[in-house]
Homo-oligomer: A and B are copies of this chain.
Amino acid sequence: MSEPAIRTTILDIARALNVAAATVSRALNDHPAISNATREAVKEAAKRMNYQPNKIASSLRLGKSKIIGVIIPSAEINFFGSVIHGIEKVASKNDYNVLIYQSNELYELEKKAVQTFLRSRVDGVLASISKETINLGHYADLKGKNVPLVLFDRANDSLQVPAVVVNDYQGAFNATRHLIEQGCRRIAHIGGQQHVTNFNQRLRGYIDALNVHNIAVDDDLIVYGKVSIGSGRECMKGLLPRQPDAVFAVEDFTALGAMQTIKEAGLSIPGDVAIIGFANELFSEYLTPSLSTVNQQTVRMGEEAAGLFFEVLNKKVSSRVPPRKLILEPEIICRQSTALPANYRRP
Q: Which residue numbers of A lie inside 8 Å of B, CB to CB? A: 6-7, 50, 52-57, 59-60, 65, 67, 74-78, 80-82, 84-85, 88-89, 92, 97-102, 115-116, 118-121, 141, 144-146, 256, 281-283, 286-288, 299
Contacts and interface: CB of A to CB of B under 8 A. Distances in A.
A82 to B, nearest CB: 5
Contacts of A102: 85, 88-89, 92
Contact of A120 (B55, B89, B287): B55
Given A88-B101, A120-B56, A145-B6, A80 B81 contact: yes
Contacts of A65: 56
B97 A120 contact: yes
B81 A119 contact: no
Contacts of A287: 286-288
Contacts of A53: 119
A98 B97 CA distance: 10
Contact of A55 (B75, B100, B101, B121): B121
A101 B85 CA distance: 9
Contact of A121 (B56, B115, B299): B56
A119 B85 contact: no
Contact of A85 (B76, B120, B146): B76
A288 B291 CA distance: 13
Contacts of A60: 54, 56-57, 60
Contact of A75 (B7, B85, B256, B281): B85
Contacts of A84: 75, 81, 100
Given A97-B116, A121-B54, A283-B282, A81 B89 contact: no
Given A98-B99, A100-B100, 5 more contacts: A56-B60, A76-B85, A92-B101, A97-B120, A98-B100
A256 B283 CA distance: 11
A97 B99 contact: yes
Contacts of A115: 52
A209 B87 CA distance: 44
A7 B101 CA distance: 23
Contacts of A74: 85
Given A52-B115, A82-B76, A119-B52, A99 B99 contact: yes
Please list the 8 inter-chain residue pairs (A to B) with the smallest Cβ-Cβ separation, ordered nearest first: A283-B283, A288-B288, A81-B81, A76-B85, A75-B84, A75-B85, A55-B119, A52-B118
A106 to B, nearest CB: 12
A65 to B, nearest CB: 6
B75 A78 contact: no
Nearest to A74: B85
Contacts of A100: 84, 88, 98, 100
A74 B146 CA distance: 31
A120 B115 CA distance: 20
Residue of A81, A256, A299 most packed against chain B (CB within 10 A): A81
A54 B97 contact: no
